[in-house]
Chain A
């Protein structure tokens, strides 16, 4: 089941969700993405895969949202992963030590198995 939201597309497969933001994960876009991720949590998402295919930029507010989502999902026994990250975003995540918390990949996959 695929839902088209204002700025994100969420594709459900059982209790696993792939969330594809339609643009950058930055302060101005964070409130909407946050409510999308919260809805997924409320529906009991187990594996949340965030697809960065359309994301060129992530700022500190966006990083905060991802960490916050990861913390909530882990608490509920689930997992989060980011796929299709650009080289620049991958380097940002590494330099900010975000990749220590959840998998971040330039390639595809899902939260249960990210392609390396």
Chain B
């Protein structure tokens, strides 16, 4: 721990209640809504907090998971409704990162997609695969509009 850096528990209860408007970033033709920029504002803080806490490989995995969860909630969860909000809670405790992201959308049928892998030549559909490859545990609510990702960094953190 470096002097001046907040202790691990400081990232506990980081709670964003941002209003994230409509967005569409489907490959290849639709343009993403500028409200994806509001996701970006979270990451400067996220990187700053994790800089001295995790080695670069673990930081990359943590940020990638958070990005996929938030982008998914903005693009697919919130659809075209600017009144929707996305809720995000991030906790880091005992070298275990827990990310929970909820959107106000109708959810999606994660049962039918849980085992699928995108065709490697396809230009979309990689978000879930990234969850499965980079998270220790992935859970969806029954409705499919809340995802909880757990990344356990206890293993593989020794230099």
Contacts and interface: CB of A to CB of B under 8 A. Distances in A.
> Are A and B subunits of one complex?
yes
Given A60-B130, A63-B126, A68-B28, A28 B120 contact: no
B104 interface: no
A113 B10 CA distance: 47
Interface residues of B, number: 30
B71 interface: yes
A64 B126 CA distance: 8
Interface of B: 25, 27-28, 31-32, 34, 36-37, 39-40, 56-57, 60, 63-64, 67-68, 71, 74-75, 120-124, 126-127, 129-130, 133
A27 B43 CA distance: 13
Contacts of A68: 27-28, 123
Main secondary structure of the interface of B (DSSP, over half): helix
Main secondary structure of the interface of A (DSSP, over half): helix
Nearest to A66: B123
Nearest to A96: B126
Interface residues of A, number: 26
Interface of A: 26-28, 30-31, 34, 57, 59-61, 63-65, 67-68, 71, 87-88, 91-92, 95-98, 100-101
